[in-house]
């Protein structure tokens, strides 16, 4: 693998996980499978439309698995695939970094932290 390939793969990974809500959804799925409504409760700021769209994107990338149980009632649950589970250390690292460097304010911005 040459440096150009590495840069491209790195950029693809950063864009996937950095896409609005994707990292947060992956973090919410770390404990295990969740239904759509459980994800909505875990991420109260996300709209139904955005959650649905991001879940489809993560599923298409092989990060999330959508499981449908056939029974009455039909239930749909989402969980991380093996590929998604491999993000655990990265998500933990970002979370640690965020607590260490961004503080506890939900409105803390990069500009305020680094004038």
Which CATH number goes with the domain that contains 98?
1.10.10.10
pLDDT of residue 2: 66
- Is position 29 within any domain? yes
pLDDT of residue 104: 64
Confidence of residue 33 (pLDDT cuts 50, 70, 90): very high
- 31 pLDDT more than 90: yes
- Is position 6 within any domain? no
- Is position 68 within any domain? yes
Distance from CA of residue 20 to its chain's centroid? 9
How many structural domains is the chain composed of? 1
Q: What value, to the nearest 5°, has the Cα angle with vertex 60 and ends 34 and 62?
A: 70
Per-residue pLDDT of 63-109, as tens digits, reads 999 999 988 889 999 999 999 999 999 999 999 999 999 876 655 44
- Is position 15 within any domain? no
- Is position 74 within any domain? yes
pLDDT of residue 113: 39
pLDDT of residue 115: 35
Give the structural domain span for 31.
20-113
- Is position 8 within any domain? no
- Is position 3 within any domain? no
- Is position 52 within any domain? yes
3-state secondary structure of 35: strand
């Amino acid at each position: 693998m040459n440096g150009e390939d590495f840069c491209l793969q790195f950029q693809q990974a950063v864009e996937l996980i950095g896409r609005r809500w994707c990292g947060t959804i992956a973090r919410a799925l770390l404990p295990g499978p969740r239904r759509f409504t459980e994800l909505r409760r875990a991420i109260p700021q996300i709209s139904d439309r955005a959650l649905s769209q991001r879940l489809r994107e993560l599923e298409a990338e092989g990060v999330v698995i959508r499981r449908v149980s056939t029974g009455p009632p039909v239930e749909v649950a989402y969980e991380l695939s093996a590929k998604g589970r491999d993000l655990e250390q990265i998500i933990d690292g970002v979370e640690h970094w965020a607590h260490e460097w961004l503080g506890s304010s939900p409105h803390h911005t990069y500009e305020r932290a680094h004038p």
